[in-house]
């Protein structure tokens, strides 16, 4: 039976600037329209939603995600679930439950690139709209995921910086991951070919006219129209700005958590954890739309 839910939605702010916890819902079953509309409204305001104590199969996570848009199938083949290409396994255990070696390339990727502030898929011409993680196994310490509100951060910027950013673009390229992380092997020709650089405005204007910083700490550093070093300094300034504690919620995972975030006005990263500890989350991603040229 469909949940009735809006009246039974219980919410709690998890940070003054970003994130809302929602309890009183079972996401594994059907949800009625008014519940979904209520969730969407809260999501617009809080950018990151946390649903504790859920238990979703891959199919159930896909079904819940589809309430919010079309699912994306990414090129990250090494992380795809064998059952559903829409599901990525953000996990250092394989599908049979076997722990991966601490030096396994997938673990290296999680410990390096994912640990740098980023917004999913910004290296694509059409980046991701949203991502959803569901925790299956969690680390006893470390491994928290941090989320930054890039709308609040933009609004709080000094006016002269806001003026400086008008009309500015950054180049986002998967290849640039190697600029930030030289412990990873170089990209293959094929990988390079699969992900040509993309250019995005540094300030995104959203449908409701709010503006946010749109930057990444793992695939972008070059600001168009500026000398390289000056652009890098601006990029570092903005990254340090947006990730100040007053804009950042740090999520400590419990098994069963579902976290849904809008990638367009937020950045995220994982905090370090002992790679000998098991960690497994299942992820779905929603397709974005073209970013209008600023
Ligand atoms: C992701 C991601 C963070 C984490 O799945 O896009 O950045 O804590 N994950 O694993
Ligand atoms: Mn990510």
**Mean local confidence (pLDDT), 196-215:** 96
The Å distance, Cα 131 to ligand 1 centre, comes to 9
pLDDT reported for residue 6: 56
Ligand 2 centroid to residue 269 C-alpha, Å: 7
Tens of pLDDT, residues 245-287: 999 999 999 999 999 999 999 999 999 999 999 999 999 999 9
Distance (Å, whole) CA 14 – CA 43: 13
How remote is the CA of residue 160 from the centroid of ligand 2, in Å?
Answer: 31
Give all domains of the chain, ordered by start, each with its CATH number.
Answer: 4-286 (3.60.130.10)
State in Å: Cα 105 to ligand 1 middle. Answer: 16
What is the model's pTM? 0.95
DSSP 165-182: HTT-EEEE-GGGHHHH-T
Helix (H, G, I), strand (E, B) or coil at 231: helix
Tell me the CA–centroid distance for residue 167 and ligand 1, in Å: 30
Q: Is 173 in the pocket of ligand 1 (CB under 6 A)?
A: no
Provide the token pair at 224: 């168009």
**Residue range 48-98, pLDDT digits in tens:** 999 999 999 999 999 999 999 999 988 788 899 999 999 999 999 999 999
DSSP lists the bridge partners of residue 250 as 146
Q: Quick check: 32 and 5 in contact, CB under 8 A?
A: yes
Band (5; pLDDT cuts 50, 70, 90): very low
Nearest CA to ligand 1 atom 6: 120
| Averaged pLDDT for residues 137-146 | 98
Mutate to test the pocket of ligand 1, among 81, 270, 288 (most ligand atoms within 8 A of CB): 270
| DSSP H or E run through 41 | helix 33-46
Cα–Cα distance list, 68 to 39, 135, 179, 260 (Å): 10, 20, 34, 10
Distance from chain centroid for Cα 42 = 18
Cβ of 270 less than 6 Å from ligand 1? yes
Q: Is the CB of 283 under 6 A from ligand 1?
A: yes
Q: Is 90 in the pocket of ligand 1 (CB under 6 A)?
A: yes
Contacts of 12 (CB under 8 A, 6+ apart): 20, 21, 23
* Residue 193 three-state SS: helix
DSSP assignment string, 110-179? HHHTTTS-B-TTTTSSS--SEEEEEEEE--SSS--EEEEEHHHHHHTS-HHHHHHHTT-EEEE-GGGHHH
Considering only residues 96 and 182, tell me which one the structure prediction assigns the higher pLDDT: 96
């Amino acid at each position: 039976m469909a949940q009735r839910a809006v009246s039974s939605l219980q919410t709690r702010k998890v940070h003054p600037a970003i994130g809302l916890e929602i309890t009183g819902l079972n996401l594994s079953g059907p949800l009625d329209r008014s519940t979904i509309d209520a969730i969407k409204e809260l999501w617009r305001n809080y950018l990151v939603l946390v649903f504790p104590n859920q238990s979703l199969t891959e199919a159930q996570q896909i079904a819940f995600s589809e309430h919010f848009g079309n699912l994306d199938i990414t090129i990250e083949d090494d992380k795809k679930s064998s059952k559903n290409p829409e599901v990525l396994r953000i996990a250092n255990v394989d599908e049979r439950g076997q722990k991966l070696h601490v030096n396994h390339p997938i673990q290296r990727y999680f410990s390096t690139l994912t640990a740098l502030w980023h917004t999913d898929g910004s290296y694509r011409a059409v980046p991701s709209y949203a991502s959803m993680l569901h925790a299956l196994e969690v680390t006893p310490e470390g491994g928290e995921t941090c989320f930054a509100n890039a709308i609040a951060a933009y609004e709080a910027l000094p006016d002269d910086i806001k003026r400086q950013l008008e009309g500015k673009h950054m180049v986002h390229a998967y290849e640039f991951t190697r600029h930030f992380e030289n412990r990873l092997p170089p990209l293959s020709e094929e990988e390079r070919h699969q992900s040509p650089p993309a250019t995005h405005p540094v300030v995104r204007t959203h449908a409701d006219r709010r503006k946010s910083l749109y930057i990444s700490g793992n695939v972008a550093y070059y600001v168009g129209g500026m000398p390289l070093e000056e652009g890098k300094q601006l990029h570092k300034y903005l990254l340090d700005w947006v990730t100040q504690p007053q804009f950042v919620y740090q999520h400590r995972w419990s098994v069963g958590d579902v976290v849904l975030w809008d990638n367009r006005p937020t950045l995220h990263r994982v905090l370090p954890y002992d790679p000998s500890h098991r960690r497994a989350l299942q992820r779905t991603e929603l397709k974005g739309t073209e970013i209008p040229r600023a």
